[in-house]
Amino acid sequence: MGVTAHLRAIVIAGGLAALALALGFMTLLMNQTASDAGAHTVLPLKARHHAPVKDPSARIVKRVDPHFTAAVKGGLPRSVARALAAKPVVVVELTSTQDSVAQLALEEAKAGAALGGASFVKVDVDKNGGDVQVLTRLLGQLPMAPVALVYTRPATLYVTLPGFNDRTTVQQAAANAAPVATVGRALAATPTWATRAVVVCRQAYTQFGAMGGLDNPVKLAARKARFEAVAAGFLAQMKALAPAAGKAAQVKQLNVLLVRNFAAEDAMVAAATLHNAGALATARAHAAVYQTKIDKLERKLGASGCVEAAA
């Protein structure tokens, strides 16, 4: 072997040795890194004392809206209850996909509810169970669609608007129902039938006055939908008031007279619309007779404030 060949062999051997050494260092470094990554970190006592401890049995409690609870207890479907939790008034439109008029009424009711600041719920009567079943159980018999049901808190049916109603009619009904929610809070603070009746009377007669007053059927005729909505709400609220002990018969008699009186008032409005002077005079005479009996009975029951509100 020559000198050159010998030197070449020495260089190759040295290179292989250097490569083996480098590989050894890399393997050692990788093992050290893996060992460090898998090592358990021991917290000092102070750090362990302040570290948060999770309780596996702890649960997040979601608060249920009291308006939702009251509406459900009142027998309303959960969809309507959620709507009443959102706003004091909700328009529930009963509709049918098989009826083109009902579909038009649905769009008008939805727009009217929005304009009146109310929530809106659609109920398809073609479907069995669900909201249809709950409403049927609550109302006894479901009205024929299309129809709009206006509810106020807690679960009070303020007015029913059967058939096709344009958005203006629904808007007015929703707007009229809004003060009833406020009246409901006032009723909760009053202890007797008489004081509650006065709250309801003053609220209703204030609205009648804004329309021109019950003695002005011509002006009421121009606001017929609003007048009928307020009247229906007033009668429903009076009927819902629990009578005092021993006064149930008198309160029932009063409610009958109120219904007859407003039927006469409605006849006056209809006569004014038709410009029928004879029918107007007859209806006015009937209303006057009923009003006299109503005033006498309200004073006897201690609700003289209703007499003053109607004056």
**What strands, in cross-sheet order, belong to the sheet with 156-162?**
119-124, 89-95, 147-152, 156-162
Q: Which positions ≥6 away from 94 have C-beta within 8 Å?
A: 123, 125, 135, 142, 143, 145, 146, 147, 148, 149
Superfamily of domain 65-166: Glutaredoxin (3.40.30.10)
- The strand pairing partners of 152, in sequence order, are 89, 156
Name which residue leads in pLDDT, 110 or 63. Answer: 110
The reply to whether the predicted model has a pTM over 0.75 is no
What are the extents of the domains in the chain? Answer: 65-166, 190-311
Which helix (H) or strand (E) is 89 found in, with range? strand 89-95
For 254, residues 6+ apart whose C-beta sits below 8 A from its C-beta are 238, 294, 297, 298, 301
Residue with the larger pLDDT of the pair 159 and 78: 78
Q: Which amino acid is at 104?
A: L
**CA distances (Å), origin 115, targets 91, 175, 217, 231:** 11, 9, 27, 21
The lowest-confidence range among 56-60, 80-84, 198-202 is 56-60
Question: Rounded CA gap, 162 and 145, in Å?
Answer: 8
Measured CA to CA, the distance from residue 234 to residue 214 in angstroms comes to: 13
Supply the mean pLDDT for the chain.
81
User: Cβ(109)–Cβ(120) under 8 Å?
Assistant: yes
* Side-chain-facing half-sphere of 75: CA atoms under 13 Å: 12
Strand-pair category, 89-95 with 119-124: parallel
Q: Which residues pair with 124 in a beta bridge?
A: 95
* pLDDT the model gives residue 183: 57
C-beta of residue 177 within 8 angstroms of C-beta of residue 225: no
pLDDT at 45 over 70: no
Taking the CA atoms of 131, 132, 135 and 136 in sequence, report the sign of the dihedral they define.
negative
Per-residue pLDDT tens over the stretch 108-151: 999 999 998 999 999 999 986 789 999 999 988 888 899 999 99
Q: Is 79 a residue whose pLDDT tops 80?
A: yes
pLDDT at residue 10, as a whole number: 54
Task: Count the residues in the chain.
Answer: 311
Q: Which fold has domain 190-311?
A: Four Helix Bundle (Hemerythrin (Met), subunit A) (1.20.120)
93 beta partners: 122, 148
Question: Quick count: other Cβ atoms within 10 Å of Cβ 71?
Answer: 25
Start-to-end C-alpha separation, the chain: 138
Tell me the C-alpha distance between 88 and 71, whole Å: 11
pLDDT, tens only, 257-306: 999 999 999 999 999 999 999 999 999 999 999 999 999 999 999 988 88
